[in-house]
Amino acid sequence: MTPRPDAQLNGRVAVVTGANTGIGRATATELARRGATVVLACRSEAKATPVITHIAGVTGNHRLSFLPLDLADLASVRAAAATLLESEEPVHLLVNNAGIAGQRGITADGFELAFGVNHLGHFLFTTLLLDRLVASAPVRVVNLSSVSHFDAKALDLDDVQHPTRSYVGLREYAVSKLCNVLFTQELASRYDPAVLSAFAVHPGQVASDVWRRIPAPVAAVYKRVARMKTNEEGSRSSVYAATAPDIEAESGSYYDQDCRRREVNPLATPELAAELWDRSAAWTAPA
Ligand SMILES: NC(=O)c1ccc[n+]([C@@H]2O[C@H](COP(=O)([O-])OP(=O)(O)OC[C@H]3O[C@@H](n4cnc5c(N)ncnc54)[C@H](OP(=O)(O)O)[C@@H]3O)[C@@H](O)[C@H]2O)c1
């Protein structure tokens, strides 16, 4: 089986972060099935290579490649963006999918782990690619947020440069997912949606590898009891935001697991979105 010559995404180039497993893998597979050239931006070549072979096998699309990207290390993010820019290929779809939940730590650059990986690494990756994205217009940027962003009670940008403080890191996860919403809003406000549109999505509760830190038997029972979605089901809101026709006028929106446009946490004001952008730009500026 090969993508049909008239497949919707023939000639389009998509970059999906964290595409070696979970929702990102399912998203990369669906975009490949629809004919896109897909760059799998992942931190492990050993994990990504068999996934590329598998996606090529099930879709018949061999326009797939691996890009090394560790979002917990801004030097790696810069190197990944430089590799893409050197290739002079367009980028029509950027799906900022990678993420961690329930993990504790600090990034190579001294940021709380969830904030650093889920927000700041993606912020730098996206902003380094902006000129290429605009040159490839019309383009879409999809940021994987979460319904957990509603759990964030505040965003204190003076207090993100330390190791994770909460016991399982879920408080910091919620804040990082709020940042995904804020980044989406500010990105959307900066561009004509006919050129660049940006969306945040919640995939639903998905039985992905995100539960890897929970003991396997407990996770298996939890996934069944919670009736979690499959990765394929969980990829629908990402694929919708990346490909649905005529949604550019909704740029800046947040879609739920059923691809419905939803209000966001009231903390997500334009002022906070602008402040997050400015601070993130300063933190990631070249020394
Ligand atoms: N699953 C859910 O119920 C759920 C709910 C709401 C939102 N989400 C969001 O959906 C997105 C995808 O999550 P998932 O459930 O598919 O999780 P997953 O199966 O754990 O996949 C996460 C992906 O992110 C990658 N990643 C983690 N840290 C990274 C780093 N430092 N640099 C580069 N890549 C990194 C992982 O790579 P490795 O395999 O190398 O670790 C993996 O490819 C996340 O943003 C998550 O917050 C998930």
pTM: 0.96
Lowest-pLDDT range of 5-19, 151-165, 178-192, 244-258: 5-19
Pocket flag, ligand 1, residue 210 (CB < 6 Å): yes
Q: Which domains does the chain have, with CATH numbers?
A: 13-205+233-279 (3.40.50.720)
Mean pLDDT (whole number) for 184-213 = 92
Atom number, ligand 1, closest to the C-alpha of residue 212: 20
Residues 6+ apart with CB under 8 A from 81: 124, 125, 128, 129
- pLDDT at residue 80, as a whole number: 98
Pocket flag, ligand 1, residue 25 (CB < 6 Å): no
Active-site residue among 167, 173, 240, 255?
173
Mean pLDDT (whole number) for 183-205 = 98
Mean pLDDT (whole number) for 52-77 = 98
Q: How far apart are CA 287 and CA 285, in angstroms?
A: 6
The continuous run of DSSP H or E covering 40 comes out as strand 37-42
Confidence of residue 218 (pLDDT cuts 50, 70, 90): low
Pocket flag, ligand 1, residue 101 (CB < 6 Å): yes
For residues 83 and 93, the answer to whether their CB atoms sit within 8 Å is: no
- pLDDT at residue 220, as a whole number: 72
Confidence of residue 287 (pLDDT cuts 50, 70, 90): confident
Torsion angle of the four alpha carbons 215, 216, 218, 219, in this order, in degrees rounded to the nearest 10: 110
Residues 6+ apart with CB under 8 A from 272: 155, 182
Atom number, ligand 1, closest to the C-alpha of residue 205: 3
Mean pLDDT (whole number) for 197-203 = 98
Distance 118 CA to ligand 1 centre (A): 9
Q: How far apart are CA 184 and CA 178, in angstroms?
A: 10
Distance 142 CA to ligand 1 centre (A): 14
Tokens 């669906």 -> residue = 30
- pLDDT at residue 260, as a whole number: 98
Facing residues of 196 across strands? 139
- pLDDT at residue 217, as a whole number: 72
Side-chain-side CA neighbours of 4 within 13 Å: the count stands at 3
Distance 209 CA to ligand 1 centre (A): 7
Distance 6 CA to ligand 1 centre (A): 32
- Is 167 considered catalytic here? no
- Asked whether the predicted pLDDT for residue 19 surpasses 90, the reply is yes
Pocket flag, ligand 1, residue 116 (CB < 6 Å): no
Pocket flag, ligand 1, residue 10 (CB < 6 Å): no
The continuous run of DSSP H or E covering 131 comes out as helix 122-135
Distance 88 CA to ligand 1 centre (A): 28
- pLDDT at residue 52, as a whole number: 98
Pocket flag, ligand 1, residue 223 (CB < 6 Å): no
Confidence of residue 3 (pLDDT cuts 50, 70, 90): confident
- Indicate the top mutation candidate among 205, 210, 227, 228 to test ligand 1's pocket, ranked by most ligand atoms within 8 A of CB: 210
Which residue's C-alpha comes closest to atom 7 of ligand 1? 146
- pLDDT at residue 165, as a whole number: 95
Facing residues of 140 across strands? 93, 197
Atom number, ligand 1, closest to the C-alpha of residue 107: 31
In three-state secondary structure terms, 246 is: coil
Question: What average pLDDT does the structure give for the chain?
Answer: 95
Q: Which tens digit of pLDDT belongs to each residue from 81-121?
A: 999 999 989 999 999 999 999 899 999 999 999 999 999 99
Beta strand 254-255 with 261-262 is: antiparallel
- pLDDT at residue 214, as a whole number: 60
